[in-house]
Amino acid sequence: MREAYLSAQLKGNRREALRLVVEEGLLRGIPFATLQSEVIRKAQWEIGRLWQENIISVAQEHMATAISQLALSHLYRYLPRDAPNGRTVVVSCVEGELHELGARMASDFLEMAGFDVRFLGASVPVEHLVREVKSAPPDLLALSVTMTFHLPALREAVAAVRAVAPRLPLLVGGLALEWAPGVQEELGVPFIGTDARGLVATACRLLEVPE
């Protein structure tokens, strides 16, 4: 299914991509989490590799990503949710980071686990992130960074948030962190990675929520 979905992305065939994940996938019993992590996420990683190696153009990468955004929007209607656990998580991409797909998937996994999620989307200016944290304090903040050249923006966001909310737990995710060893120790955060399930498990542990 992942190969067929990837093929539909590269052809710009939105209808076929949706048919695969909704009709061939979800409505035939493949779990939501599996479709997200094993089909859409891994196909998107392959799109990123093809773009980085100059095999596909920026236009093709944008087209493929738009298809995944559309697929996630359709799947969201079928999102299975645990009972609300009373905890709120804010998920945001750092300033300048336009790749929001991973953060959006993480938001869905957190929501499935019963968290109330406020997803801020791509490229949130640090002053607005701080304003959000101060005006409606969450129980946890998760920041996303995909491109390594946005790591300075991540450091700035972490420092700014800690200045106004020093006890707010912070988690960080995104592909950029796979190429930046030592960032976890540098920032002093309990989770860094690309695994949405791992992020949820860490959030549950930090906030003392049963998994």
The answer to whether the 2-76 and 88-206 domains have the same CATH topology is no
- CATH level 3 topology of 2-76: 1.10.1240
Predicted confidence at residue 184, as pLDDT, reads 83
Which is nearest to 179 in space by CA: 150, 141, 201, 156?
Answer: 150
58-96: pLDDT as tens digits:
999 999 999 999 999 999 989 999 999 999 999 999 999
Q: Which residue has the higher pLDDT, 81 or 178?
A: 81
Q: What is the value of pTM for the model shown?
A: 0.90
pLDDT per residue as tens digits for the range 106-141: 999 999 999 999 999 999 999 999 999 999 999 999
Helical H segments across the chain, by residue range: 2-11, 14-18, 32-34, 41-52, 58-76, 101-112, 126-135, 151-164, 183-187, 196-206
Average pLDDT, rounded, for the chain: 93
Just give the CATH number of 88-206.
3.40.50.280
Domain map (residue ranges) of the chain: 2-76, 88-206
